[in-house]
Amino acid sequence: MPRLSQLEDVLFPVEEHPVFVSVKTASGEQRLPVPDKKAIVNRDSGRVLGVVSRGYRLVSNREALDMAYECCRTVFPETKPGEWEVRATDAPGTGGHCFIDLAHNSTTLDFTFVPAKERPDAFGPFIRVTNSYNGLRALAFDIGFYRKVCKNGLILPKSVIRFKFTHVRSEIGETIRFEIAHDKLAELRTSFREYLGVLRDCSVSRAQFEPLMFAVLMLRKPKRAKPYSREAEDWDALVRHVTTMCDRYVSELGENAYAAFNAITEFASHPPDNRCIRRERNSFEQLAGKWVNEFSRVCRAPGFELRKYVEEIGKNNGNGTEVAAPAHGRGG
C-alpha cells in the first residue's frame, strides 16, 4: 500500500466508537459491549484505525499539528508563527500513525558549516511531530537538523531535546506546555557544528562507504533471496542506488566521513521504494542521528580503525547478524 505524503491526506476527521463483540450462546448470537475498549475510526472512510483503552486520549493529526506549531514558538521564541511551514509528511497507507515536519522558512535559524571543498553548507532545524491512532506510538515532538541544499535530515538522540506524551489524559490535557532550557538548545547547535567538523577531518576511503552505510542504516540482504528472484533483483537495485549515491558525494565532498554522513542522511530522508527496506523514514533518520553522535566521539579515540568499527556495528545492528555489504571494485 502506498504511503501518504501529502498533508491533506492525514488530516481526515476521526471519532471514537464503542466496541462490541459477538458471542454465540445456546439461545443464539449475542452482541455484547466491551466496556474498557473503544475504536478510533476514520470518519470519511469508516476504517477502524485502532482499538484502544477507554482512558485513551484521542489527539487528531490536525490537533497534533497545532501543538507542533506551539512547540516551534516555544523552542524558538525569536521566530514568528507564520515563519513555520510543513516541510514533509509521511504515514502508512492505513493512516494509523503519521509524522509531520515543520521547518522555518527563512535563514534566521540557519547556521553554516564549511566542508572539504570550502563551500559553506547551510543547516537548519526542524520539528517532527509523531501521532498515532492505535496506541502504538506516543505523541512526540523531536528536534532535528537538515542540510538545506538537499533536504537531507536526521533526528539526534532523544536524550538531547524531545517532548513525549503517552495518550492518556493525565499527560495530555486540553493543552500541552512545552518547557525547554534555551542554553541547552544553543549547546546542541554548537555540538552539531563540532560533529560535522570531526566528520570532515575523518578519512573514509571510497571502498568503505557502502559497508559503513549498510551497517549504520541496518540494511541487510534478505536471507532467502534466491538468484534471479524478485527479492534478489530488489537487493541488487538497492546496492546500485547506494553505490551511485556514494559516488556522487565522494565526487562532491571527498573521501571523508562528512561525505559518508551526507550519503547516509540522503538515504534516510529519501528511502527508495524497495522490498528490502522495512523501516520508515523516521526510523532511518534516528539511526543517522544516533550514528553521528557516537561516531564523532569514537573516531577520535587512539587506535581507531574504521574497518573494525564497521565490522562491530554490523555484527550488533539489531539481531546480531553481520550486514551483507556489497562488493566494490575500488581499492582502499
Is 242 a residue whose pLDDT tops 50? yes
Q: Any idea which of 6-10, 28-32, 98-102, 315-319 has the lowest mean pLDDT?
A: 315-319
Q: What are phi and psi for residue 294, nearest 5 degrees?
A: -80, -45
8 A C-beta contact, residue 142 and residue 158: yes
How far apart CA 154 and CA 283 sit, in angstroms, is: 10
Stretch 210-216: mean pLDDT, rounded? 95
Is 325 a residue whose pLDDT tops 80? no
Angle between helices 257-269 and 281-298 in degrees, nearest 10:
160
Please tell me what DSSP assigns to residue 289. Answer: H
pLDDT: which is higher, 184 or 41? 41
Please tell me what DSSP assigns to residue 81. Answer: G
Nearest C-alpha neighbor of 313 from the set 271, 264, 274: 264
Q: What is the pLDDT of residues 115-159, one digit of tens each?
A: 545 566 888 889 999 999 998 899 999 888 888 888 888 887 755
How far apart CA 187 and CA 146 sit, in angstroms, is: 17
Mean pLDDT estimate for the chain: 86
H or E element, residue 20: strand 14-25
Q: Which residues contact 254 (CB under 8 A, 6 or more apart)?
A: 116, 117
pLDDT at 76: 87
Is 18 a residue whose pLDDT tops 80? yes
How far apart CA 148 and CA 68 sit, in angstroms, is: 21
The top-scoring range by mean pLDDT among 49-63, 96-110, 117-131 is: 49-63
pLDDT at 319: 36
Please tell me what DSSP assigns to residue 139. Answer: E
Grid cell 469508516 in the structure block, residue: 46
